[in-house]
Structure 1
């Protein structure tokens, strides 16, 4: 029986990316379909008769993705193990190839390279005694960044990585037990489903040429990022709490380990933390620690003179909101980075398992 397998890192398939034709559905029809599905996702008990009457749209919006955007999904590599000396195995990363069907990969391996066939997530073969794990190369580079802060495979322990990933196989033979996101989970079936409204999931996550220009324009022209913080009227309040006994540098270090939502909660709960984290120095550092997937900010900082009155706390809040992966995204400058952020979340969980194996 034919079926699809999915990238072990991002959860997206290697085939079946169906892009609609402008004549398939009008802009209004696509918009209504996305809005209807969005409402149903936000309300578990939502029912609507029109949803039963209309033919569902099962293609991506051609205004948001094209064949060039999704070409990265069709090329597959894999991580597997080969027999080594003394009955041991050694992990390897294959060359490029393609997904044939029914869980079968055709990739290049060895020197000189030859076309070899493997079964995704399945039983081993003479060439690879254990299951092989398929992935897109750009997803592998994102994983390498989470593990080593570089994209060089030589800096990672492939044997430990293989063991970590194998331990997270989901038992269905199609992906790993990783938080790929609800939009990807809905698309994973016997075959990959091209769901309208989830186009960001198939936008290239590292080749994002429009992102830097978008950031430059926002930083230079968005006046809402320059608003000065409102002064607090403390009255007779004294910002005393357990954090108040610590030097600001120690509080900064503690905060650097918190995700954005937890940081927001802490500043609301602790007046002292709220006061000492109002300066730009803290938020410049927090952007780097909380958004490691947004490496373009470092490029921009090196190549662009940021406005002197830029408010970095507001910049963080703006970036956190606009890059969040969510159903119905339509800003093409942000869809790729939203996909990268989604993949980074899955890689961080895999990174924890990798550290345990090491």
Structure 2
């Protein structure tokens, strides 16, 4: 869904606003689901107020104010979000507890003491959280442990959890505030078309070049030919992933020097845990692939623009890294 301007300002095409009854994490008796179950929230039941995603701190509506001229401090810049699909903001899930699981659904005002909380979040953000937790503890997410992690971070009557939500810091007022320069907060952190396109290009090269191109004549003037294999391995140990790939792409000797898969995977997870598209790639098998992957990693590290100069590429990755930082905090509580 792409926004269209109207009289200098624009709103994302209509979506359903989510409303809560006060300004902190909600309470509910979700009697139609089992205890500690992830549920699909029913939008029409969230009324009279608003709070935000427990994971990213963002709103639950794709209707955001945008200014075509880029001069309004209380509106996002239209030229930045023009081609961004904001519908992911409308997709809501929630985590609640229902000890009895009997009777009809009944929602409670937050002021009522003793009722269990329900924690809402975007479906997209939950995908990021699952990936974050699975890096340290593979397997299905345990609802009871995740619920307790949310409870530990629920510091009181607030619109979000008591966590560091990174920069820019999402609004904490009861009503979402659109602030020029904070467009990152509403850009999809998972579906990044430009990144997907570059990853697909690398996958195509992997499919067509399934062997090491060792048939190429090794250059005797390659300075690394003077080093033993042990020394070459030690060099790799001190380099970040993109530097390893750049070195292998530049030197045929280093290209043919094997990098243990365990070391490569560990470096990727340590440096780019949030870049799962690269984590899922096979080990580069040609210097062309090494060069292309190195450039991609460098661009992702710097959150640089894609060749198409799309803001969505920069902001999507930046928002993913911001949300990943929140997920790591939740993961720490989950694994306690």
Q: What does residue 127 of structure 2 align with?
A: 141
Q: What does residue 341 of structure 1 align with?
A: 321
CA drift of 1:156 comes to 1.7
CA drift of 1:352 comes to 0.6
The alignment yields a C-alpha RMSD, in angstroms, of 4.6
Q: What does residue 99 of structure 1 align with?
A: none
Q: What does residue 80 of structure 1 align with?
A: 96
Question: Which secondary structure does the structure 2 equivalent of 1:192 belong to?
Answer: coil
Q: What does residue 116 of structure 2 align with?
A: 130
TM-score (structure 1 length as normaliser): 0.55
Matches within 5 A, 1:113-192: 117=107, 123=112, 129-149=115-135, 155-185=140-170, 187-192=171-176
Q: Distance in 1 between matches of 2:68 and 2:78?
A: 10
Structure 2: which 5+ runs fail to align? Answer: 1-21, 23-47, 205-222, 225-232, 243-253
Q: What does residue 334 of structure 2 align with?
A: 354
Are residues 304 and 294 of structure 1, via their aligned partners in 2, closer, same or farther at CA, if it must alter by over 3 Å?
farther
Are residues 342 and 71 of structure 1, via their aligned partners in 2, closer, same or farther at CA, if it must alter by over 3 Å?
same
Match of 1:319 among 300, 306, 309: 300
Q: Distance in 2 between matches of 1:69 and 1:182?
A: 22
Q: What does residue 293 of structure 1 align with?
A: 274
Q: Distance in 2 between matches of 1:314 and 1:66?
A: 27
Are residues 315 and 168 of structure 1, via their aligned partners in 2, closer, same or farther at CA, if it must alter by over 3 Å?
same
Question: Which secondary structure does the structure 1 equivalent of 2:335 belong to?
Answer: helix
Matches within 5 A, 1:236-247: none
TM-score (structure 2 length as normaliser): 0.58
Are residues 173 and 349 of structure 1, via their aligned partners in 2, closer, same or farther at CA, if it must alter by over 3 Å?
same
Question: Which secondary structure does the structure 2 equivalent of 1:155 belong to?
Answer: coil
Q: Distance in 1 between matches of 2:197 and 2:177?
A: 32
Are residues 77 and 119 of structure 1, via their aligned partners in 2, closer, same or farther at CA, if it must alter by over 3 Å?
farther
CA drift of 1:135 comes to 0.8
CA drift of 1:66 comes to 5.3
CA drift of 1:285 comes to 4.8
Which moves more between the two structures, 293-302 or 347-356? 293-302
Deviations 1:262-310 (A, max 9, x none): xxxxxxxxxxxxxx9xx89466752343212111124554899661662
CA drift of 1:342 comes to 1.1
Q: How many residues align?
A: 249
Q: What does residue 265 of structure 1 align with?
A: none
Contact 1:78 1:135 in 2 (8 A): yes
Structure 1: which 5+ runs fail to align? Answer: 34-55, 85-109, 221-230, 233-246, 261-275
Structure number having the greater helix percentage? 1
